């Protein structure tokens, strides 16, 4: 896990919420998929990406 300062994480949380609203309900799935693909590319580490996918997927309510 990274050492992201809490304030930055909170800023990411806000940016995500605003972006999902900006994408609109019809396109939110596509937007989130694009976001994940961009993040995977930026991350450059398939192991970390797969762990993140698992974290997000497990115990999905």
- Asked if residue 39 binds other proteins (CB under 8 A), the reply is no
Q: How far is the CB of 6 from other proteins (least distance, A)?
A: 30
| Cα–Cα dist 37/33, whole Å | 6
Q: How far is the CB of 28 from other proteins (least distance, A)?
A: 11
| Cα–Cα dist 20/49, whole Å | 21
Q: Which of 6, 7, 24, 41 binds other proteins (CB under 8 A)?
A: 41
Q: For residues 4 and 53, which CB has a smaller minimum distance to other proteins in the complex?
A: 53
| Cα–Cα dist 47/12, whole Å | 22
């Amino acid at each position: 896990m990274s050492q992201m300062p809490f304030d930055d994480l909170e800023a990411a949380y806000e940016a995500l919420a605003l972006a999902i609203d900006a994408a609109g309900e019809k396109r939110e799935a596509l937007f989130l998929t694009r976001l994940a693909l961009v993040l995977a590319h930026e991350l450059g580490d398939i192991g970390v990406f797969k762990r993140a996918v698992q974290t997000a997927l497990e115990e999905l309510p």
